[in-house]
Chains A and B, each alone.
Chain A
Amino acid sequence: MSSTSQKHKEFVAEPMGEKLVNALAGIGEVLGKRLEEKGFDKAYVVLGQFLVLKKDEELFRDWLKDTCGANVKQQGDCYGCLREWCDSFL
């Protein structure tokens, strides 16, 4: 039984548009800042990376960990959020 957070639900409910990277589930202030420093300032840029990694879970998780130091839970939340968004809108 997956328990998705409020953030997750809000994100997957609509097209992401110009939402900031903080809007992603699992990405809070600290991780968001790190991602922005690396150039991933908007959610769609992270989406781009997700797609370039062929939506593969392991690759995306590793990439997220390397880029902003996300822990296992955060990686999972972000991955799930993006995957579900893609299922609905891509």
Chain B
Amino acid sequence: MAALRNKSDQEIKDLLNEYGIKHGPLVDTTRPLYEKKLKEAMAKAKVPVTKPSPDRTFYREDQEEVTYVTYQTPVRSEGPSGDGKPYMRSRPEYSERDRVDDKPYSRSRPEYSERDRVDDKPYSRSRPEYSERDRVDDKLYSRSRPEYSSGRPYVDEPHVYNTLSSSSYSKPTPVVKSGGGVVKKENTTSSGRLIPLWIQFLVFLILAGFLYFIFTNMESAESSPFNRIQ
């Protein structure tokens, strides 16, 4: 079965029909293409036995979607096939999160997509990705992927206020009191749901400034005895 080259034209045609592959006349220029298609179809036929199990351990919730994608990868291995699978896996996950995210935050999606258009210029591609991942990562997937954890270095600083940036739906307002009024207004005027990254950044800066202000006040309190002596 492996020696497709040695088969006659008629046999190749029969095999193509068997696998349901649409084809034209078998000529010398088309033969290599059909042989390749047959090889892929044969490999694909073996896939259901081995593929789904690793994917199932990876996703508890949406198994069907993932296995559907892995079916596609052997056929449409455009780029390097080694990279194709994990890349494709992250894609449905990305869209999966889209759906899964919908349940706890039913309002978030349409607002977010609006946001996407509004903030198109400075944060066109990477930002919405980041902020979307940021949210979901906190809520549902406790074992965070390395890319996500590496994508939040600047969030680590205010460790106490980690929840501020990560789930910035309703939490920022009780935490940041001084800038809370401003933040809240910004929230309602711009999105009301998913706070875009620039607002998070702004809040973070306000918070950092606030902390710095407190810190300097503390220092001045300490230095007062020194002043006295002098």
A to B CB contacts below 8 Å, 13 in the list: A49-B29, A52-B25, A52-B29, A53-B30, A58-B22, A59-B22, A59-B23, A59-B33, A62-B36, A63-B30, A63-B33, A66-B36, A72-B78
B interface, CB within 8 angstroms of A: 22-25, 27, 29-30, 32-33, 36-37, 78
Q: Does A37 lie at the interface of the complex (its beta carbon under 8 Å from any beta carbon of B)?
A: no
A52 touches B27 (CB 8 A): yes
The residue in chain B whose Cβ has the minimal distance to the Cβ of A39 is B29
CA–CA, A69 and B36, complex, Å: 15
A interface, CB within 8 angstroms of B: 49, 52-54, 56, 58-59, 62-63, 65-66, 72
B78 touches A66 (CB 8 A): no
CA–CA, A65 and B4, complex, Å: 21
A82 vs chain B, min Cβ distance (A)? 14
Interface centre among B23, B24, B78 (most CB of A within 10 A): B24
CA–CA, A54 and B30, complex, Å: 11
A37 vs chain B, min Cβ distance (A)? 14
The residue in chain A whose Cβ has the minimal distance to the Cβ of B25 is A52
CA–CA, A4 and B14, complex, Å: 39
Q: Which of B24, B32, B36, B78 contacts A53 (CB 8 A)?
A: B24
Which residues on A sit within 8 Å (CB–CB) of B22? Answer: 54, 56, 58-59
A79 vs chain B, min Cβ distance (A)? 15
Which residues on B sit within 8 Å (CB–CB) of A59? Answer: 22-24, 33
- Chain A to chain B: the 6 pairs with minimum beta-carbon distance, closest first: A54-B24, A63-B33, A53-B24, A52-B24, A52-B27, A49-B29
CA–CA, A56 and B24, complex, Å: 9
CA–CA, A49 and B27, complex, Å: 10
- 14 further A-B contacts with Cβ under 8 Å, apart from A52-B29, A62-B36, are A49-B29, A52-B24, A53-B24, A53-B33, A54-B24, A56-B22, A58-B22, A59-B22, A59-B24, A59-B33, A63-B30, A65-B78, A66-B32, A72-B78
Which residues on B sit within 8 Å (CB–CB) of A52? Answer: 24-25, 27, 29-30
CA–CA, A11 and B32, complex, Å: 28
CA–CA, A62 and B36, complex, Å: 10
CA–CA, A56 and B34, complex, Å: 13
The residue in chain A whose Cβ has the minimal distance to the Cβ of B30 is A52
B168 vs chain A, min Cβ distance (A)? 37
Which residues on A sit within 8 Å (CB–CB) of B33? Answer: 53, 59, 62-63, 66
